[in-house]
Amino acid sequence: MGGAFDGQENDVSLEKQKAVDDWLPITSSRNAKWWYSAFHNVTAMVGAGVLSLPFAMAELGWGPGVAILVISWIITLYTLWQMVEMHEMVPGKRFDRYHELGQHAFGEKLGLWIVVPQQLIVEVGVDIVYMVTGGKSLKKFHDTVCPGCKPIKLTYFILIFSSVHFVLAQLPNFNSISGVSLAAAVMSLSYSTIAWVGSLDKGKQPDVDYSYRASSTSSAVFNFFSALGEVAFAYAGHNVVLEIQATIPSSPEKPSKKPMWKGCVVAYIVVALCYFPVSLIGYWAFGNKVEENILLSLNKPRWLIAAANMFVVVHVIGSYQIYAMPVFDMLETVLVKKLKYTPSIVLRLITRSSYVAFTCFVAISLPFFGGLLGFFGGFAFAPTTYFLPCVMWLAVYKPKRFSFSWIANWFCIILGVLLMIVAPIGALRQIILNAKGYNFYS
């Protein structure tokens, strides 16, 4: 009798579990096509950070700059492939979230502590930066279209930008934001193209100088470190890759890794088409006088710069949602599974609106958050993108010593750890130098 009763209880708890999984944003919809993966990855990867790559090139110089861009592209494509492969390495189980893979590799408790803080720093940090970027691009659009108008504070533009997210944040899962994501991916290609075609059109400036901007050797070294952090920030899509793969259907005959990898390859070709021309042509045209945002160096024609800024706004709206979705998933999982709240629209409305309000508040309070991101970015971007997947791969698959896989993974780990150490040092110095000019609530 007891056995039958236990069986019924197990069935009930499994049903409950399934109901919760069907409600959570990552696992609720598994009917995505491979091209969803392509544009979600483009939206996640090609942030507005692409516009600061020529400036990073100016701090790295021609040789190191090109080498670091190419090496980063290869390493991050390799670690992305590892994550796609590891998504279903245990037969009949899917690691739908980055921390679930971490728990499999490092153990239940340790896996959570290693992955979740870093993933949250990246996702929440990027969302705050996108709030500021969206507000700044709206302000730039307004000032470009209407140069004689009364100036409006950045704070108001950030509030206007955040108002969109209170609505979009209520979309239940990744598949429901695919339209927004597609628009964002198209926009990222568009403004990247405007940036490099505009630079090409301007041509090499008469007084162009390719030497380091810094007057002293120590300044040049610190700027170099800081630029490494900016490049790491440009390749930050790994934080959402397992969550994107979770939306693709899978069966033993047709595993999700095939369509997912196809999408990733297409995304990485688009990334190359955006990053390399912008960074190389932008630096070639303006040398070390290039602005932190390449669009500021191209102040004419006015209509084109206005359009590019509007494209950035649309793109950043999509990117914000892509990075917010795993955070919503974590918050809702804790509320429903740990604190036993009933899944409902009201719960979702309160949770997600609170998150949007929080990122908006921090963005308004610290509009110089981008400077802080290089510092945080070094700690969290380098591990989650450059070497955590390799550490997991070594822990799970245990490749033979000195085999290609073993050497490749250790190479990525050593480079990633160096990046994690030096990028925050460079960024911290930038923060200290710029601190005098910081305005809270500007």
What's residue 241's pLDDT? 87
Q: Give the N- to C-terminal CA distance of the chain in Å, as an integer.
A: 70
- Dist. CA 159–CA 170, nearest whole Å: 18
pLDDT per 10-residue tile (average), the chain, 442 residues: 54 76 81 85 80 89 92 91 91 89 92 90 88 90 88 92 94 85 90 90 85 83 85 79 88 89 93 92 90 78 86 92 92 91 92 96 82 70 86 93 94 91 84 73 66
Task: Check residue 5 and give its pLDDT.
Answer: 47
Q: Which two tokens stand for residue 13?
A: 């708890």
Per-residue pLDDT, 380:
76
Whether the Cβ atoms of residue 154 and residue 139 lie closer than 8 Å to each other: yes
CA-based R_g, the chain, Å: 22
What pLDDT is attached to residue 28?
A: 77
State the burial class of residue 64 (Cβ atoms within 10 Å of its Cβ: 0-12, 13-18, 19+): middle
Going by C-alpha positions, the residue among 233, 175, 316 that lies closest to residue 53 is 233
What CA–CA distance (Å, rounded) separates 69 from 230?
11
CATH topology of domain 2-437: Amino acid/polyamine transporter I (1.20.1740)
- Angle between the 404-434 and 369-381 helix axes, to the nearest 10 degrees? 160
**Two tokens at 367?**
């509009």
Q: Which of 10, 45, 77, 51 is nearest to 319 (CA)?
A: 45
Cα→Cα distances 38→197, 241, 267, 317, Å? 24, 11, 5, 18
The length of the chain in residues reads 442
**Tokens standing for residue 326:** 């795993």
Smallest Cα–Cα separation from 34: which of 241, 263, 258? Answer: 263
239: tokens are 């934080």
Distance CA 387, CA 371 (A): 24
Q: 388-397 and 98-106 helices cross at what angle (nearest 10)?
A: 40
